[in-house]
């Protein structure tokens, strides 16, 4: 197989949005992660953790989210603007907002019986809400205290609520509404208040608090007395998490070292909390911790979601990148569209100089005729967060959507690029979170927040966008769409949901109709976990999908059956090879246009190549890893002489890999150093041997 040229794009510099809070739902094994711009990511951690859904946040400080809580499959948030919001995880939009008394809502917690919701506010009130089906109802207020309530927790019986505020930990009787115990923390300095940032409550009513002195304090909740304390950190302790067996706690904060305490039984029969191991996972503030089984998830200012556990000693960090797809290309004009949080960039890719040869066609860097050029930057109105974007294959259309508005642009490439926004968009064209273009560049397919797929017709002559058809998928798919794709021939539309469903529609070209309509074609057998990536191969029309547990399938769409190679992938247990790289999901699948037998997949740090024409390796076989220097354009040969599977390890945060034409591929990665450069200063520490 001849070598191919790979454009390595390293100028994609996303701003790392910090993570302010998280909440874990153990039944569905999902983590809700809230970032600084009030965007909520739903991570599915049942297998390889990945972003399953994104609830795009509203911009502005007034919409900041301070706390999250699950109640079964319902998700609630407490916001600075003084409301409690329930989020619709199907439409990915807020379901309703309920105001609280009084001021900003800083914290919330759901009772163990899942019947009540408690919210702490700026003015010192605890608001109690009753959980009803589809809504929450205000029930009562507890007595007002002085100062804001920054954290609160229900006890195991739901009869008491523990709150943390300035200098004080209080225990409240929920039925009477009165504070029954007030425990004073003390101060490091007389003129400086101690802020209680976080709490944990055990079944025997031991209260654990973390405060601004860097102290972890243990209290007897039954008596309302102090037990013991430890100076665990050199700065504020912002988060505490208690293990399921309630014998271990983890804490971290502005001092990012994660420290654990173990509950040890003494000879006298009493128990004592003893400081155990510590981990240095982050360099900046750790704001939130979550325990899922034996796996600890930590996050904070650097935006990374880190998963660590022992044994064996393991650490995997998921970068603060947007949910895929965030890159779109125009193959005909070699245009690259990069999506940021509130704006888009269109780049013109360089052309390699094919007249100059390199000594080594595999590792050599090919010279370029010119450098990549940024053509235009499109900013959203009022700095709204962008939910999705795409550029047509011929480079003449650009579409992006926020949560409220769909915007369509007409592009013209001459000596310079000209961009014109379409004012005439029919009112029934809705906003959405997934968008793709048809191969003919005359239609766009939009997965809407309303739970339908819209087919939008595009016309350069009329300079307008028109809704052609609305496809309902409620019967075929049980949940929100997470992948939307079209076959290269443009005849098959495919959508996957977050519950393992895959549905296909085909184009019905009936005579006498102005345009073809799409009708349901078939569904694939539902799998127990969702697909994270898929791709079509033309002639024959083969669908390749990869699931969250790294299972790979190949499906013949025209024959409506799985291929023999798909069965072979299952018997060879190929998922074990991908799983050896850690708990990283497959982010994308593509094919080599020069070789129909080659399937190419990629995750955050590696590219996996499967050659169907060769024999697949046995489970114990040594898989070759190919590494080469990174350049602007490089020659790669996706072959392996030993067998039909190999791994290319050379990237850090790879977010896109696809073919531009028959002999050119494009790889887009985010340099980890670009994240570090944009972060605020971290806590200064004295290093050994330095001044």
Distance of CA 247 to the CA centre of its chain: 31
Q: Which two tokens stand for residue 607?
A: 């590219």
Predicted confidence at residue 356, as pLDDT, reads 55
- d(CA 431, CA 424) in angstroms, rounded, equals 15
Q: List the chain domain ranges.
A: 1-15+529-691, 19-318
- d(CA 659, CA 331) in angstroms, rounded, equals 8
Residue 674 phi, psi dihedral angles, 5° rounding = -65, -30
Predicted confidence at residue 360, as pLDDT, reads 38
Predicted confidence at residue 613, as pLDDT, reads 85
Specify the fold of 19-318: Methylamine Dehydrogenase; Chain H (2.130.10)
Residues 112 and 154: beta-carbon distance below 8 Å: yes
pLDDT per residue over 340-352, tens digit each?
Answer: 999 999 999 887 6
Predicted confidence at residue 317, as pLDDT, reads 95
Could you tell me what percent of the chain has a pLDDT over 70?
90
pLDDT per residue over 244-303, tens digit each?
Answer: 999 999 999 999 999 999 999 887 778 899 999 899 999 999 999 999 999 999 999 999
Predicted confidence at residue 359, as pLDDT, reads 41
- d(CA 239, CA 197) in angstroms, rounded, equals 7
Q: Which two tokens stand for residue 260?
A: 């654990």
Residues 610 and 598: beta-carbon distance below 8 Å: yes
Residue closest to 303 by CA, chosen among 315, 291, 288: 288
Environment class of 556 (CB within 10 Å of its CB; exposed 0-12, middle 13-18, buried 19+):
middle
DSSP state of 192: B
pLDDT per residue over 95-121, tens digit each?
Answer: 999 999 878 999 999 999 999 999 999
- d(CA 232, CA 216) in angstroms, rounded, equals 6
pLDDT band at 58 (very low <50, low <70, confident <90, very high): confident
- d(CA 634, CA 408) in angstroms, rounded, equals 35
Q: Does the pLDDT value for residue 633 go beyond 70?
A: no
pLDDT band at 686 (very low <50, low <70, confident <90, very high): low
Could you tell me what percent of the chain has a pLDDT over 90?
68
pLDDT per residue over 317-339, tens digit each?
Answer: 999 999 999 999 999 989 999 99
């Amino acid at each position: 197989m001849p070598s191919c040229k790979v454009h390595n794009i390293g100028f994609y510099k996303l701003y790392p949005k910090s993570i302010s809070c998280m909440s874990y739902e153990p039944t569905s094994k999902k983590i809700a992660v809230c970032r600084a711009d009030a965007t909520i990511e739903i991570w599915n951690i049942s297998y390889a953790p990945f972003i399953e859904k994104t609830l795009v946040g509203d911009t502005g400080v007034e919409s900041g989210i301070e706390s999250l809580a699950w109640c079964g499959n319902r998700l609630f948030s407490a916001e600075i603007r003084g409301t409690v919001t329930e989020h619709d995880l199907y439409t990915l939009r807020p379901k309703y907002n309920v105001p609280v008394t009084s001021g900003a809502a800083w914290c919330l917690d759901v009772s163990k019986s899942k019947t009540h919701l408690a919210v702490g506010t700026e003015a010192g009130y605890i608001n109690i809400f009753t959980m009803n089906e589809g809504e929450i109802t205000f029930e009562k207020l507890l007595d007002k205290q002085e100062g804001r309530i920054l954290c609160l927790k229900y006890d195991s019986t739901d009869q008491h609520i523990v709150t943390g505020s300035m200098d004080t930990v209080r225990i409240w009787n929920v039925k009477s509404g009165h504070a029954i115990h007030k425990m004073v923390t003390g101060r490091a300095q007389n003129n400086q208040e101690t802020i209680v940032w976080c709490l944990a409550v055990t079944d025997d009513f031991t209260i654990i608090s973390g405060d601004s002195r860097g102290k972890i304090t243990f209290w007897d909740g039954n008596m309302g007395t102090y037990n013991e304390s430890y100076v665990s950190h050199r700065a504020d302790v912002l988060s505490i998490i208690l293990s399921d067996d309630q014998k271990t706690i983890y804490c971290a904060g502005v001092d990012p070292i994660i420290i654990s305490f173990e509950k040890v039984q003494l000879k006298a029969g009493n128990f004592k909390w003893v400081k155990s191991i510590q981990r240095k996972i982050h360099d900046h503030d750790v704001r939130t911790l979550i325990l899922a089984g034996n796996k600890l998830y930590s996050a904070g200012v650097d935006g990374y979601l880190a998963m660590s556990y022992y044994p064996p000693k393991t650490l995997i960090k998921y970068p603060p990148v947007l949910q895929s797809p965030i890159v779109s290309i125009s193959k005909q004009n070699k245009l690259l569209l990069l999506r940021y949080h509130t704006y888009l960039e269109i780049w013109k890719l360089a052309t390699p100089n094919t007249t100059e040869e390199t000594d080594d066609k595999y590792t050599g860097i090919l010279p370029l005729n010119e450098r990549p050029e940024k053509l235009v930057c499109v900013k959203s109105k009022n700095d709204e967060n962008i939910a999705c974007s795409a550029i047509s294959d011929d480079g003449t259309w650009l579409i992006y959507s926020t949560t409220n508005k769909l915007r369509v642009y007409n592009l013209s490439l001459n000596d310079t690029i000209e961009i014109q926004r379409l004012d005439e968009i029919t009112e029934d064209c809705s906003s959405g979170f997934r968008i793709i273009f048809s191969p003919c560049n005359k239609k766009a397919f939009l997965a809407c927040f309303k739970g339908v797929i819209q087919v939008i017709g595009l016309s350069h002559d009329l300079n307008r966008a028109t809704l052609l058809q609305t496809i309902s998928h409620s019967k075929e798919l049980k949940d929100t769409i997470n992948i939307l794709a079209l076959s290269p021939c443009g005849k098959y539309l495919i959508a996957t949901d977050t519950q393992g469903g895959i549905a296909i529609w085909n184009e019905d070209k009936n005579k006498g109709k102005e345009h073809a309509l799409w009708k349901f074609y078939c569904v694939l057998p539902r799998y127990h976990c969702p697909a994270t990536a898929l791709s079509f191969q033309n002639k024959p029309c083969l669908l390749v999908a990869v699931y969250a547990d790294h299972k790979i399938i190949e499906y013949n769409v025209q024959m409506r059956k799985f291929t023999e190679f798909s069965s072979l992938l299952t018997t060879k247990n190929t998922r074990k090879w991908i799983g050896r790289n850690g708990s990283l999901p497959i982010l994308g699948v593509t094919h080599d246009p020069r070789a129909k037998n080659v399937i190419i997949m990629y995750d955050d740090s590696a590219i996996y190549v499967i050659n169907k024409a060769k024999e697949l390796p046995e489970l114990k076989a040594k898989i070759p890893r190919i590494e080469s220097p990174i350049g602007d354009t490089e020659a790669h040969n996706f072959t392996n002489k030993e067998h039909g599977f190999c791994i290319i390890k050379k990237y850090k945060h790879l977010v896109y890999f696809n073919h531009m034409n028959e002999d050119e591929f494009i790889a887009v990665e985010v340099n980890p150093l670009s994240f570090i450069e944009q972060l605020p200063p971290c806590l200064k520490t004295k290093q050994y041997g330095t001044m």
